[in-house]
Structure 1
Amino acid sequence: HLCLIQKPLLNGLFQQCYLSSWTAANHAKTVLQSPNDLMKNQNESAVIICSHKIQDYNRMLWYKQSQDMSGLKFMGYLFTNENIEPEFINKIQMQGDAKKNATLTINNLTPQDSAVYFCAAYYTVI
């Protein structure tokens, strides 16, 4: 899980975003997110790494939970290519091999990006 919390600097002229993550494990099915902590300024980009070693899981999904706890927003998923929801098309990028690892890049950080971000691994039966 990734928490993005905005904090003003002492002089009040600039703001920073603080990110932290933690991992939940389900015995043999573990999905990891990193880094654990990350400090970013507004207008910078943040990169979240998601990885797993779950056989046959070939898709990575990303979700955002805003600070008002209004529920999870589906941001998109990575399969053979990125599939981003319209609301996030100009905001995020997804890259990697969804069978093992992927990155989520959040561009031009603003206070509206303050949220908890979730990565999930999934499989598709064809």
Structure 2
Amino acid sequence: MISVLIIIFAGSGVCSVVQNPPDLIKNQDEIAEIKCAHTVKSYERILWYKHSQETGFTLMGYLSNAYAKPEEEFQNKIKLIGDGSKDGTLTINNVSVSDSAVYYCAAYYTVL
């Protein structure tokens, strides 16, 4: 059995963004869930990023209010649920060694 290490950045700061759990270890082919919440009333998006040594930062997708938009390369790998104006969950299906990375969520607002 191969274990996969997924490290989650438990961010906080000016905009009060929090991720849980703070770290996560899963076995190959298991499901990983990472939750993100923020308290900024004017922000309606939660963006998810993967950071690995091989690829650097990669946008995985985002929640805009209740609309989920995974990036094309992650469409069959992840599920995004929640409300970008307050909280959301990133689910990574069938984790593998290539999923070993640091994951970040960010709260964001859209300027039109």
Q: Same fold (TM over 0.5)?
A: yes
Q: What is the TM-score of this pair, normalised by structure 2?
A: 0.90
In structure 1, what is the Cα distance between the partners aligned to 2:4 and 2:23?
A: 11
SS in 1 for 2:12: strand
Deviation of the 1:19 alpha carbon: 3.2
Name the TM-score, length of structure 1 as normaliser: 0.80
Structure 2 counterpart of 1:54, from 31, 37, 40: 40
What are the equivalent positions in structure 2 for 1:26-105 lying under 5 Å apart?
A: 26-27=13-14, 29-68=15-54, 70-79=55-64, 80-105=66-91
C-alpha distance in structure 1 between counterparts of 2:8 and 2:57, whole Å: 17
Gaps of 5+ in 2: none
Structure exhibiting the larger radius of gyration computed from Cα positions = 1
State the distance in 1 between where 2:108 and 2:38 align.
10
Percent sequence identity over matched residues?
48
If asked which structure has higher relative contact order (CA below 8 Å, sep 6+), I would say 2
4+ residue runs over 6 A deviation:
none
Structure 1 gaps of 5+ residues are 1-13
In the aligned structure 2, how far is the partner of 1:99 from the partner of 1:84?
Answer: 17
Q: Deviations over 1:5-52 (max 9, x none)?
A: xxxxxxxxx11123343433333x111011023231100110000001
Alignment root-mean-square deviation, CA: 1.5
Q: Distance in 2 between matches of 1:24 and 1:51?
A: 10
How many residue pairs align between the two structures?
111
